[in-house]
Structure formats: C-alpha cells, structure tokens
Amino acid sequence: MRPKYDPVRFLAQINELVEQIKQAYRREENIVKNDELRSRVRALGEGAQLVQAPAQILEHRMHLPSAYLVIPIFALANAGIPVDWSSFGSIATHPVAVGITAGLVGGKLLGIAGFSWIAVKLGLTTLPRDLNFKHIVGVGLMGGIGFTMSIFIAELGFVGQAEELLMAKAGILIASALAGFAGFLWLYLTSQKSTE
C-alpha cells in the first residue's frame, strides 16, 4: 500500500522548515517575541498533521472523550452497583465498605509513600531531580483509585455473599472518588506553594 503523500517531498519540506526555524531562533530565542519563529513552528505542526491518516487524527481527537467519559461510564456500568442515594449513609458506614475505603486510600498511601521513603533512606534509590516526597504522597493518594482489580478481588473474596460484595463494590467506588479528589487537591495545593 502506497502512502497518500510523497515521503521524499515531505522530508525536503520539513528540512527546509527546520532550517528556517533555526535561522529565526538565532535572531530571537523567545518564541513569544519572535513572530517568524512562531509561524514556522506552527507550519511544521500543521504539515505533520496533514500527512497523518484520518484514523490517526480521529484516534487523537477521541482520546479525551473516551478517557474521561466513556471509560468511567463503562466502569460504573460494569460495577453492578444500584445507585440509591437514600441508603448512602448506611452503605458508607458498613464495616466492609469502611474497611475497603480505608485500605485503598490509607493503605495505598502508606504503601507507596512509605516504601519509597524507606528505599530512599536506605540508599537503595534516589528521587529524580525536581521531585520530592510531596509528589510521592500525591501519587500515593492517587494510587487509591484501584477500580478494576479491586472489584475483581472483591468478587473472588465475597463469593456467595451478595450483600458483602455490594458493600465492597460501594467501598471501592467511595475510595476511588475520595482518593482521586484527595490526590488532585494535594498535588494542586503543594504545586501552588512550590511555584510561589
């Protein structure tokens, strides 16, 4: 199958644009002040976009809607949890739901941040440059978003116990929401402080 563009011509055009970008960059390094540099970079991006197959363009455009809309709806539909807001209080305080929520949120935080701290203190590893333990705590909180595998393990652990399985799934949903919100808030607030 032949490509829809001429590779030799495309490479020649790209090389010419790269040379123009280099020349414009030598005159002014700041892309905000350099109109010529900005237009050449934009032309390079548009040229690379034009040679992509329509399926690649569609895949790129559908990434955000599928990641933030389709997959969460799919996960909730497969969880099989009836949504009844009137009984939310009793579900959220059920011992199985509380245990799973604490395990996912607190356990993941302690496991990820704790073992990372121990590994650094023992000299087994070092943190990458520009990374500190505030970031590790944020990742530890985000680690509590354990949806698919947690439901799989709950279904194995509560075979023949329909009510406990329902409470476990509810705990997983609560933990995922709580961990996601707490992790986002933690990373947002700590990154705000570090940039000020």
Q: What is the pLDDT of residue 74?
A: 78
What separation in angstroms does the CA of 38 have from each of 14, 43, 48?
Answer: 15, 9, 16
Mean pLDDT by 10 residues, the chain (196 residues): 68 89 90 88 84 81 84 73 71 89 94 95 90 92 86 88 88 91 92 61
Q: 74 in a domain, yes or no?
A: no
Same domain, 188 and 117: yes
Same domain, 90 and 14: no
Q: What's the pTM value of the predicted model, to 2 decimals? A: 0.62
Q: 127 in a domain, yes or no?
A: yes
Q: 31 in a domain, yes or no?
A: yes
Q: 108 in a domain, yes or no?
A: yes
Q: 45 in a domain, yes or no?
A: yes
Q: What is the pLDDT of residue 136?
A: 93
Same domain, 16 and 95: no
Which tokens go with 144? 């509590």
Q: 183 in a domain, yes or no?
A: yes
The number of folded domains in the chain is 2
Same domain, 44 and 111: no
Q: How many Å apart are CA 81 and CA 96, to the nearest integer? A: 15
Q: What is the pLDDT of residue 1?
A: 42
Same domain, 93 and 173: yes
Q: Which residue has the tokens 């414009």?
A: 24
Q: 65 in a domain, yes or no?
A: no
Q: 69 in a domain, yes or no?
A: no
What is the span of the domain harbouring residue 88?
A: 83-195
